[in-house]
Structure 1
Amino acid sequence: MEHARRVGNRLLAALPPADFALLAPHLRKVELQHDAVLVRSGDKIEHLSFPCSGAIALIMELPNGQTAATAVIGNDGAVGLMTALGPIRSPMTAVVRVAGTALQISPARFHNALERSPAIASSVQLLTRTLLTQFQHVAACNALHSVEARLARWLLHIHDRTDGGDILPLTQETLSELLGVRRTTVTHVVSALRSSRAIKSNRRGQLEIDRHRLEIIACECYKVMSRRIDRIVSQDAPRVLHAAPARIGCLPPDPPFAKTDS
């Protein structure tokens, strides 16, 4: 338990101590500033980010300039882990939507550890499962459910990954990006959620929510998706990662995080 609290990221915390020790000297803690772009679509991935707090949206950008969110990443995942498949460019843009902190490591350092640790390889597979779960549900939800239900779902997903109470730092532009709709549509949807008191107020750049009412309005995708992701991270991860056969020697647990990743 102390190890999990110290690490901050649930995916890293699930690693056996000896496997985590391969990464720890090269991890550096960074601040995730609100609206910061961690990587843009088509760019080379310069580092992997394991959030400890805050929320990062993965945004798909179409050639005509339209955008839509495909997933939200918090302390249950990572951004840039697709480099485990090879030196590929990012297929999506990753934007910090709620400020927080993350542990970052270079792809080269991560690959060195990956080659020595079946448990780290298993963690990549687990994260891939959580992302696929989100992608599949978001695609189905976008096709089948109302904009109001979809916005309620996104707000709940983001709220799950924040510790700042019921006020979310989200602008109408951000909501438009999450939903893949025009800002005029966002205005109508926010007004409807205010009428049902699921949104208490929407001051400039901030939304105050009523979580209980949002859960009533949100489609079933929210609960189904949350249960499946939580099962992967909380139940499958410890079982799969600790069952992975070790190929490394005994290393001291929990070495301190490096200040730089040179």
Structure 2
Amino acid sequence: MMDHATRVGNRLLAALPPADFALLAPHLRKVVIERDSVLVRSGDRIEHLLFPLTGAIASIMELPNGQTVATAIIGREGAVGLTSALGTSHSPSTAVVRISGAALQISPARFLAAQHRSTQIASMVQVFTRSLLMQLQHVAACNALHSVEARLACWLLHIHDRANGGDLLPLTQETLSELLGVRRTTVTHVVSTMRASRALKSNRRGALEIDRPRLEAMACECYKVMSRRIDRIVSHGAVGLVHGAPPRSASRSAGSRIAGTGS
């Protein structure tokens, strides 16, 4: 019989000791996250926490003048809405699904109740917060210092890492404009440049086919540095969770399955 770390596809949840995970398991519900769906808008109340199993979600900052720019990409190493566990009931950014997939959903109230009973779940929130802050800081520096071509290559690599397989990414030029915070005309020029270098094999309607080795050569050093740092934070945090203190209260067994009717 597989243990929960094998069965649970989200790295944050999988790192929890079985007894702590059992506090959440009865209330987790598996949901489909569809491409281009808005999970929560900036300023809206956080109604659900989502722990992605597959797919990629972009955290988008929306300015008053209507301009947008991506600040983070979240996949199975993270969560959406987890800031509610820090006492923030409204979302600081807009979360948009860029690669469809699946996630485990739980209400903030259920999650907070479990967090109050488990120091390990509280530590998991801290692990994710460190990872997210690192990504936000790195993206800010990259946006200020590096070319649009290098930045686009980084975003495409991060999204490809979280995609469900294959080199065809379902991304429109409008989506790329939103990710980069630039105009569509700039995106058209950048995509043309990347096609000329063969980092993009084709530019089908509504999708981009990438050549990963060439894309890695075009990206700035931010991609590898950020990827290593996120992995280090999540991996080291996972080790701490597995070997940390037991939950304050964990009456349910580790074998509790993920319920299909939780909230």
Q: How big is the shift at 1:87? A: 4.6
Q: 1:1-262, aligned counterparts within 5 Å?
A: 2-249=3-250, 251-262=252-263
- Asked if structure 2 preserves the Cα contact closer than 8 Å seen for 1:114 and 1:121, the reply is yes
SS of aligned partner of 2:98: strand
- Asked if structure 1 preserves the Cα contact closer than 8 Å seen for 2:9 and 2:76, the reply is yes
Q: How big is the shift at 1:43? A: 0.4
**What TM-score do the two structures reach when normalised by structure 1?**
0.97
Letter in 2 for 1:224: V
**What TM-score do the two structures reach when normalised by structure 2?**
0.96
- Asked if structure 1 preserves the Cα contact closer than 8 Å seen for 2:117 and 2:250, the reply is no
Deviation string for 1:226-259 (max 9, x for gaps)?
Answer: 0010111123322245313431245311411111
Deviation string for 1:157-216 (max 9, x for gaps)?
Answer: 000111221110100010000000000000000111111110001101111001101111
**Runs of 5+ in structure 2 lacking a partner?**
none
SS of aligned partner of 2:243: helix
Deviation string for 1:119-178 (max 9, x for gaps)?
Answer: 000000000011011101100000000000000000000001112211101000100000
Tell me: CA distance 1:61–1:115, structure 2 relative to 1, closer, same or farther (3 Å).
same
Letter in 2 for 1:170: L
- Asked if structure 2 preserves the Cα contact closer than 8 Å seen for 1:50 and 1:102, the reply is yes
Q: How big is the shift at 1:5? A: 3.1
Mapped partners of 1:224, 1:119: distance in 2:
28
- Asked if structure 2 preserves the Cα contact closer than 8 Å seen for 1:24 and 1:254, the reply is no
SS of aligned partner of 1:131: helix
Letter in 2 for 1:200: K
Q: How big is the shift at 1:260? A: 1.9
Tell me: CA distance 1:59–1:254, structure 2 relative to 1, closer, same or farther (3 Å).
farther
SS of aligned partner of 1:112: helix
Mapped partners of 2:65, 2:6: distance in 1:
43
Tell me: CA distance 1:69–1:249, structure 2 relative to 1, closer, same or farther (3 Å).
closer
Mapped partners of 1:192, 1:244: distance in 2:
53
Of 246-255 and 45-54, more deviation after overlay is shown by 246-255
SS of aligned partner of 2:209: strand
SS of aligned partner of 1:12: helix
- The number of residue pairs the alignment matches comes to 262
- Asked if structure 2 preserves the Cα contact closer than 8 Å seen for 1:122 and 1:241, the reply is no
SS of aligned partner of 1:243: coil
Letter in 1 for 2:193: A
